[in-house]
Chain A
């Protein structure tokens, strides 16, 4: 008989080893999945994990790692702050879209004026857009006790409709020959989120992600607000007893995660994506949920998890084109990663006992 016994203290070793174990197990079962699909499992795994970093075209893929990793990290950091307090913002995708629309909207409003103040203004607008969209579920939760999971998720679909309307209407490029989509911000210097070092993939969003990591780390380990977040997640009654105001915490956590998601959207639209289009969003807001948990809700962990996730994205793309693996298989592979992570997470707080002579008490 196998049973789980609660550890008196959470295991330090397993809290670090769990992500590694999850990655290894995902490689194994992912390989199995690819083998069943008739592909060479070893080659598939190597393609996904090795090719982007050290393969022949690594010079092209490495910057991609930062471009794809930055929004994931930026969003996941915000989500993790809420998740740690038991506040579940599932709608980062919507906040990401709103940040992009607000940011791009402000930039386009100034077109074609050139000024160094335009880009900072766009950053503020992007952060505001995301914050606004996340504050809706926060206020509804505080005032009416609605479930923030449902409200924030449903607002994603509202944001998507808004995005479609913007790219077909208000923000449509007047010189775009009727095609949907805004002007390309990459061709508007004052609004372009260009690489800081050309060709490195290192745009302002990467800088923002790094700042967010440091900010979250300091907040959680050194600041009373971070302490309030952690106590609320661990023991809500104890937090209330300790003087934490739950309503203010909901406003802060949802607000900051929306803000960061909005920033991510703004940096994306002004940089790698370049324009507002109907299919601007590609699921960063949802993938960031996986990234947050893969990084164990720890800022440094999230940084690595974001890069790992970006790697599977890029590696997955390569595997699709080189080995003709179906896109769905890659998504299953990414899903496996979260599944195994959560499964192995049990080992942090429980130890496995194998034996016959004891009956659970």
Chain B
């Protein structure tokens, strides 16, 4: 066997109070796609940050192409042949593709030369992208291509990709996989971080699984079931959310050609969104982020006011009702962004319980706050949803993402909504917390509430939805029964194809 391209031996990195990586060793060969698996907080990010020179290990050694490798910063890592595509893009919306790429380069060539290079690389790797387009107008998939091409222009030997498919449609995913396979055949190694197990089974040659900073196993993904890998990640047996197929009741919420202007220059308008929601059903809404999800939630929560006749809840027109008026009659919601939108980061969980619980839980009487009742409500949420925190007095931002998400969802669920609208209920949440949240949503529907679940995670939507629709460019597709929908059909719906085409295709 030849020497591996990258070998890590005994890498350890500790932060105050937590060992992020504990004696991690792994090897990646040339032309190998190596998966790095693990829940949030397992230490995947810290590990790749060490390889990319963003973090220095406390102990341990790295070898790259047979030579000792200790990058001081990302620039030396790039010079050594390591490229990285981050989960969150660092692009300027108002600049063109070529300008964005030039900004990230050490010695950017003249713009015309660079544009030619971008065209060349994008064609040879099957990543269609025009250098002259403004980044703000690109889809998430196209923006990712900008990041990938930026890396490929440096001719990397190792490409690190952090959750690359989380923002892509199934079609875009298959384009990406073709590109990655082509890179592999040319001898480029890829370190692929993901928690989407099916993808890893299709794409990757080897996998290293991390849990709580330690390597807990390696496997050949093609020969291992997704369930086995998930259980290695979590360390326990996973419970699949259960529901008994209840029949949907009467219509409780109706949207009639709901249209909204865009909130900002790069915002998305809502265009004639119509749907009717029945008691006891879960409507899943998929689609790539930025296609009107936030706007739809805002219109339903009451943060954005729609015109008369567009939203009817229990037969009432919602046009003049603000968020608290809607809460009072049972229409509750939970936005995507936990910190700063669903919760105030620097305020305690007690205060955050009060934020949306004031009306339905009777925490305010004649304007006077009842702090002991608010504390009791916060404690109730913490207890019922297994939120890990020293006390309800802790600031929201001191909680991990998964725990805060359980708190935010629990806060609404415990208020017994009749309609519950939630955007990205398990985004950035570890597998066991995600399972608990999905179960809570299913239980809520079981008890007769109607739910709209907006999510980027198609597996999640397929798991819990009764009906499924997609948002594309602010338009909502006709909802269809979720059972029996194929991935291809979903992909076409997400891409904005009309229903006839879906049925024909």
Contacts and interface: CB of A to CB of B under 8 A. Distances in A.
B394 A9 contact: yes
A241 B367 contact: no
A265 to B, nearest CB: 29
A339 interface: no
Contact of A222 (B54, B340, B369): B369
A9 B399 CA distance: 10
A235 B398 CA distance: 16
A297 B344 CA distance: 19
B108 interface: no
A323 interface: no
A238 B368 contact: no
Interface string B333-350: 001010111111111000
Given A8-B397, A9-B398, A243 B347 contact: no
Counting chain A CB atoms within 10 Å of each CB, which of B346, B368, B371 scores highest?
B346
Interface stretch (A37-45, A202-210, A223-231, A253-261): A223-231
A311 B166 CA distance: 60
A224 B368 CA distance: 6
Interface residues of B, number: 38
Interface string B366-384: 0111010000000000000
Interface stretch (A54-62, A166-174, A177-185, A353-361): A353-361
A224 B370 CA distance: 10
B285 to A, nearest CB: 19
Interface in A341-361: 357-359, 361
A10 interface: yes
Interface stretch (B79-87, B152-160, B213-221, B352-360): B352-360
Given A235-B340, A237-B340, A230 B347 contact: yes
Given A231-B344, A235-B345, A359-B56, 10 more contacts: A10-B346, A222-B368, A235-B346, A238-B340, A238-B343, A238-B355, A241-B335, A243-B358, A359-B55, A359-B73
Interface string A332-345: 00000000000000
Nearest to A232: B344
Given A9-B395, A242-B355, A361 B54 contact: yes
Interface stretch (B227-235, B246-254, B307-315, B321-329): B321-329
A158 B368 CA distance: 39
A10 B395 contact: yes
Interface in B104-144: none
B460 to A, nearest CB: 23
B54 A359 contact: yes
Given A240-B303, A241-B323, A234 B398 contact: no
Interface of B: 49, 54-56, 73, 301-303, 322-324, 327, 335, 337, 339-347, 351, 354-356, 358-359, 364, 367-369, 371, 394-395, 397-398
A8 B351 CA distance: 17
A243 B342 contact: no
Interface in A305-321: none
Contact of B322 (A10, A231, A245): A245
Contacts of A225: 367
Interface residues of A, number: 24
Contacts of B49: 361
A235 B346 CA distance: 9
Given A231-B347, A243-B322, A361-B54, A8 B341 contact: no
Contacts of B303: 240-241
Contacts of A224: 358, 364, 367-369
11 contacts: A8-B397, A9-B395, A9-B398, A234-B344, A235-B341, A237-B340, A241-B355, A243-B324, A243-B356, A359-B54, A361-B55
B327 A238 contact: no
A238 B341 contact: yes
A278 to B, nearest CB: 43
Contacts of B337: 237
A358 B20 CA distance: 14
Nearest to A358: B56
A312 B354 CA distance: 41
A239 to B, nearest CB: 8
A357 B56 contact: yes
A223 B394 CA distance: 21
Nearest to A349: B346
A227 B335 CA distance: 21
A357 B342 CA distance: 37
Contacts of B344: 231, 234-235, 238-239
A8 B395 contact: yes
B301 A241 contact: yes
A234 B302 CA distance: 20
B365 to A, nearest CB: 10
A231 B323 CA distance: 15
Contacts of B322: 243, 245
Contacts of A238: 340-344, 355
A297 to B, nearest CB: 14
Counting chain A CB atoms within 10 Å of each CB, which of B56, B355, B395, B398 scores highest?
B355
B504 to A, nearest CB: 42
Nearest to A245: B322
Nearest to A238: B344
